[in-house]
Amino acid sequence: MIVDQLRLGPLLNFTYLIADRDGGEAMVVDPSYGVDPLLEAIDLRSVKVRYVLNTHSHQDHTAGNDEVVQRTGAKIVAHRKVPFRTDRAVDEGDVIEAGGLRVEVLYTPGHTQDSVLYIFSGHVATGDTLFVGECGRTDLEGGDPSQMYDTLLGRVVRLDDALVVLPGHDYGVTPTSTIGREKQENYTLQPRTREEFVRFLSE
Ligand SMILES: [Fe+2]
């Protein structure tokens, strides 16, 4: 199992190349601005990129889609509510497979209405739903603090503590974390009522 984390673009985005092995089957998560380092990693590993997985529709997570598709022939996978064309529109519980890779989709609105988590091989790609030490904004179009409460305190905290968190931006003290560590250290995941959480996010 290969997970390459690449920090791309001016907004400290993380793009991921995941593969079952060198020379094997691969997927890309959230190709951001300036994908040359990603294309180099794909060449270096001689992997076949079957899918581009978008965690949500924001430009900084999708900017590299077209270039990766042109270069690799990958299919675009995203939640069914994204406002662009996909090859495979997914929703809660869907599974995407390629070679030894098996990726499960969790629908997690809050940051946007088309936000998902991708869970695979002991990892969870969290997009802008969860960062190391922080959560994503809920004050942009499609954001909803009450849905973010259900996503974070109803779903994320119930994930396996051992899952490695692969966030959508390099906003934390470390580039990755685990669900267990975030439950302890991330102030947005601390126990709150819905009312407390919504008030807290607006402060
Ligand atoms: Fe975003």
Report the pLDDT averaged over residues 74-93.
Answer: 98
**pLDDT score of 175:** 98
- Ligand 1 center to residue 46 CA distance, Å? 30
Whole-structure pTM value: 0.97
- Ligand 1 center to residue 126 CA distance, Å? 11
| Residue for token pair 């259900």 | 150
- Ligand 1 center to residue 55 CA distance, Å? 9
Rg (CA), the chain: 16
Report the pLDDT averaged over residues 152-156.
Answer: 98
| Residue for token pair 């490695």 | 164
Report helix, strand or coil for 152. helix
**pLDDT score of 101:** 98
Using CA atoms, how far apart are residues 28 and 100, in angstroms rounded to an integer?
15
- Ligand 1 center to residue 58 CA distance, Å? 5
Report the pLDDT averaged over residues 170-191.
Answer: 98
- Ligand 1 center to residue 56 CA distance, Å? 7
- Ligand 1 center to residue 24 CA distance, Å? 30
List, as ranges, residues with CB under 5 A of the ion ligand 1: 58, 128
Strands (E), the chain: 2-8, 13-19, 25-29, 48-53, 75-79, 88-90, 95-98, 101-107, 116-120, 123-127, 130-131, 134-135, 164-167, 177-178
- Ligand 1 center to residue 20 CA distance, Å? 27
Using CA atoms, how far apart are residues 187 and 71, in angstroms rounded to an integer?
41
Report the pLDDT averaged over residues 95-107.
Answer: 98
How far apart, in Å, are the Cα atoms of 183 and each of 163, 177, 179, 199?
A: 12, 10, 6, 20
- At 155, the amino acid letter reads R
- Ligand 1 center to residue 136 CA distance, Å? 7
Give the count of beta carbons closer than 10 Å to the beta carbon of residue 202.
Answer: 9
What is the band of 203 on the pLDDT scale with cuts at 50, 70, 90? confident
What is the band of 49 on the pLDDT scale with cuts at 50, 70, 90? very high
- Ligand 1 center to residue 111 CA distance, Å? 7
Length in residues, the chain: 203
Report the pLDDT averaged over residues 62-90.
Answer: 98
- At 158, the amino acid letter reads R
Report the pLDDT averaged over residues 139-157.
Answer: 97
Report the pLDDT averaged over residues 27-55.
Answer: 98
| Average pLDDT over all residues of the chain | 98
Give the count of beta carbons closer than 10 Å to the beta carbon of residue 75.
Answer: 17
- Ligand 1 center to residue 137 CA distance, Å? 8
Report the pLDDT averaged over residues 148-155.
Answer: 98
140 contact partners, CB below 8 Å, separation of at least 6: 111, 112
- Ligand 1 center to residue 3 CA distance, Å? 21
Report the pLDDT averaged over residues 172-186.
Answer: 98
Using CA atoms, how far apart are residues 203 and 189, in angstroms rounded to an integer?
16
**Residue 78 buriedness (CB in 10 A; 0-12 / 13-18 / 19+):** buried
- Of the candidates 149, 162, 160, 159, which has an alpha carbon nearest to the alpha carbon of residue 188? 149
- Ligand 1 center to residue 60 CA distance, Å? 7
Report the pLDDT averaged over residues 138-150.
Answer: 97
